[in-house]
Structure 1
Amino acid sequence: MIWKREVTLEALNAMGAGNMVGLLDIRFERIGEDTLEASMPVDGRTKQPFGLLHGGASVVLAESLGSVAGYLCTQGEQRVVGIEVNANHVRSAREGRVTGVCKALHTGSRHQVWQIDIYDQQRRLCCSSRLTTAVL
């Protein structure tokens, strides 16, 4: 297990109240040994004008997952902040929920690198994203 903080899904989901995570209905759904998963609806809040999942919404899901995962890998008063994020959009989604799966590529004492892959309901890859965080 890579996590240094003990947390429940209920506590993670409560963190979304009153901010973008809650506004977009991002829900943390699974804490694995070395992965964190969350889902987001493909609806009016997250679609672009042509009816497809907005790339920016995918990045919000990715950065939310990576930032929370990064925080879970710290201790005490340490915090993490995102310093770079990128995303490759490889398939569109038009409906349902997409699920992000976040896995550490590097968890150092000063920075972390997270891989976040986002899948549609048929488990087809829609977006591959990478987030780098600084540990403060």
Structure 2
Amino acid sequence: MKYSKAQVLAIANKASKNTLMETLEIEVVDYGEDFLVSRMPVTPRVHQPDGVLHGGATAALAESVGSFASHIFLDSENLMIRGLEITANHLKSISSGYVYAKATFLHKGRTTQLLDIRVTDDDDNLISLCKLSTISLPKKK
């Protein structure tokens, strides 16, 4: 069955209910043939004590969008996807607005995947650059 873009986004966001993604207000907002984009509001809820975006919240956003991308672009009906490692280079501070995380594959192997995740602000300034490696394993029947 072919789903519209709006249907795919609704399904992805429904899967976030009662998870960390809902707690951080992360939502999937766009996808294409080879990318997925999520966003998260930057509010005091995700600040570190000095009032700027916490790097851990940024890493959670990056891992969420990267994992969603693996689920969408791999055979998640027969495979379970798990994160193996995430790295994050935080380049700029932000204290309000939204951050957007765009995940694209650098490597889409049968067992392991490597995703590049660029986190930007409302003005498309680069906030963080992240890499996520995932593993896909057969689901137990």
TM-score (norm 2): 0.90
Aligned length in residues? 132
- The structure carrying a bigger helix percent of its residues is 2
CA distance in 2, matches of 1:45, 1:95: 11
Structural RMSD (CA) = 1.3
Residue 118 of structure 1: aligned partner: 119
Could you tell me which runs of 5 or more consecutive residues in structure 2 were left unpaired when the two chains were aligned: none
Moved segments of 4+, more than 3 Å: none
Per-residue deviation, 1:21: 0.2
Percent of aligned pairs with the same amino acid: 34
Residue 94 of structure 2: aligned partner: 93
Q: Which has the larger radius of gyration?
A: 2
TM-score (norm 1): 0.93
Q: Deviations over 1:93-129 (max 9, x none)?
A: 1101110111000110010000000001111000000
Residue 57 of structure 1: aligned partner: 57
CA distance in 1, matches of 2:113, 2:104: 11
Residue 25 of structure 1: aligned partner: 25
Could you tell me which runs of 5 or more consecutive residues in structure 1 were left unpaired when the two chains were aligned: none
Per-residue deviation, 1:77: 1.8
Per-residue deviation, 1:74: 2.1
Map 1:77-92 onto structure 2 (within 5 A).
77-92=78-93
